[in-house]
Structure formats: structure tokens, C-alpha cells
Chains A and B, each alone.
Chain A
């Protein structure tokens, strides 16, 4: 196939704008208008994108592993996640601050899985997620299929994730429709008694903190 660089007249269908979906075109137009009207600058936009992309993925795993080895920390993490995280050097930045007059940030809530209660998180409205600890949500978390089916048939969807939850375990779904973001504290896998905190953190998967998976086993 001929290289486009050498092509005198690029195929109309190959031109960048033509490849954009209607949503992407709308977004592009919206950004252009916001910049033109002085609501935001290109630099601010780039900074925000960088902030999202630069977010650590493993802070959640560090917090979970620390909770597994320190029961008192676990209690504090469940009671006041923000304060507990700052104890271990994790001071997640606010997710939302769209009201400069009033501090308005989404609050992190940590929910604990037990032998008879399994938590799963979803945002049926969009893609709300504890980004400060887990980074950007995966595409499937944002998909309409996950968002609509997980509330309707959690056990069926979890089975598709390869996670079978027995009927002796209740499933509590948490739908983040407002100002709270939920992080699932999974159960520590058996056979990990001798592992160090650093080793344990490697077992904690993102999906285990969403509730669609379990931590790895050693």
C-alpha cells in the first residue's frame, strides 16, 4: 500500500476530522468554544489530562496490603479513609473541585469484603471511580453493558468475569451516583501469612478493588 506521505491527494476518508465519531467531534467543538470564550486555556486542559494520566495505579494496592498487615490501620481506613491514607504517605488529590467557594470533593469510602458479604462498585450514570487510588477506570467499567447489567444481574456478570460468588455470600452493589467513591477492600488470600507487605501489594489487582475479581493467590 502506498505511503500517505507520498500521496498527493489523500483519500477524503483518511483525513483526520472525517475519522472522528460524532461524540469526538462534539467534544472538539466544545473545547474550541471554551477556549475561545476564555473559560479555560489549552494549557489548563493539558495539565488536567496529564494529572489524570499520571495517576498512580498501585496506591490502592498499597493501602489494601497495609490494611491486611495492620488491623488497627484497617479500622482507621474503613472509618476515615482520607486520614488513614495520609498516615502511609498517600494523600490523594480531590477528584472533583468544581466549586471554588466551597470545598467540594468526592469522598472516598472503603468497604470491606467478608466471608458472607461481597461488594461490587459501579457508576450506572457514567464512570465515577476512585481515580485517586486506581488511576483511570478501564473501558469496560465505563461501558453501558457493564453499567446496566451489573445492577440487574450481578452474579451473572461476575461469572463472566470468572468470579463465582456462592449463594451463601450476599452481594452488595454500590452505585456511585453522587459524591462518594467506593474502594473495595478485598479479603486477604489464604496462604499469604508469611508474605511481606510489598509482596502482598502485588497480589492486589485493580479488579479486586472494584469487586469484579479477587486478589491473586501466591
Chain B
């Protein structure tokens, strides 16, 4: 068992982009979030990396976050209300820093 990472790289409020991996590995990161930008809504703690599960967790533990995506950032044709969002729990090794998106004009 490798040592867990000492601390989390991101804090609530940070903007992050979810990596897009081709071909998609067997993972917990839903494809609809891959390549998308969201905001860290919560840092939950350090958890087992489920991608190491088939090999008895022989991978370092990972910080786990709730990333909040605006629906309009996920689906270009979203017709619900502005402010509708999806919170998805994503492990740190899938995230990279991103610039805040330009504010959307309200219709």
C-alpha cells in the first residue's frame, strides 16, 4: 500500500477541467464530464482510488472532490433554468486547473 497524498491540490471555488482520456479506461469519471470545466464545490477527504481496486488498491489514495458543473456547460442545448447544475464526485488525478469561464449573458 502506497502512502496517501499528503494534501489536496484544489480548494472549494477553484475552477478545474476534467481530463478526457482516450480510450476511456474503466473508471468512475462519467464521460459526460470529461473535457468539461466545473468548480470545486467540496473537498471530501482522501479516499481509495477505485481504479486500483482490481489490484488490491495498489495505487495511492486520492483526494476526492465534488465538482459542480453548470448544466449549460455540459449540454449546449440545455433548456432548463440557468443555475441548474450537476454535482459529480471526482478523484484528483482526473482534474487539472482551468481558467474561470467567461460569464454567460442571461437571455
**CB <8 Å contact, A179 and B89:** yes
Which single member of A99, A101, A102, A177 contacts B30 (CB below 8 Å)?
A177
The proximity string for B residues 30-59 relative to A, scoring 1 for CB distances below 8 Å and 0 otherwise, is 101000000000001001101001000100
**CB <8 Å contact, B28 and A177:** yes
Q: Which residue of chain A lies nearest to B31 when distances are taken between CB atoms in the complex?
A: A124
Which single member of A104, A154, A168 contacts B48 (CB below 8 Å)?
A104
Task: Determine if B96 is an interface residue (Cβ-Cβ < 8 Å).
Answer: no
Q: Which residue of chain B lies nearest to A116 when distances are taken between CB atoms in the complex?
A: B83
Task: Determine if B90 is an interface residue (Cβ-Cβ < 8 Å).
Answer: yes
Given contacts A170-B81, A170-B84, A172-B84, contact A177 B89 (CB under 8 A): yes
Size of interface on A: residues with Cβ below 8 Å to B: 27
Which single member of B28, B75, B80 contacts A178 (CB below 8 Å)?
B28
Given contacts A172-B86, A178-B64, contact A151 B32 (CB under 8 A): yes
Cα distance A45–B28 in the bound complex, in angstroms: 26
The proximity string for A residues 154-176 relative to B, scoring 1 for CB distances below 8 Å and 0 otherwise, is 11000000000001111111111
Question: What residues make up the interface of B, taking CB atoms closer than 8 Å to A?
Answer: 1, 28-30, 32, 44, 47-48, 50, 53, 57, 64, 66, 68, 71, 74-75, 79-81, 83-91
Question: What residues make up the interface of A, taking CB atoms closer than 8 Å to B?
Answer: 98-99, 101-102, 104, 107, 124-125, 151-155, 167-180
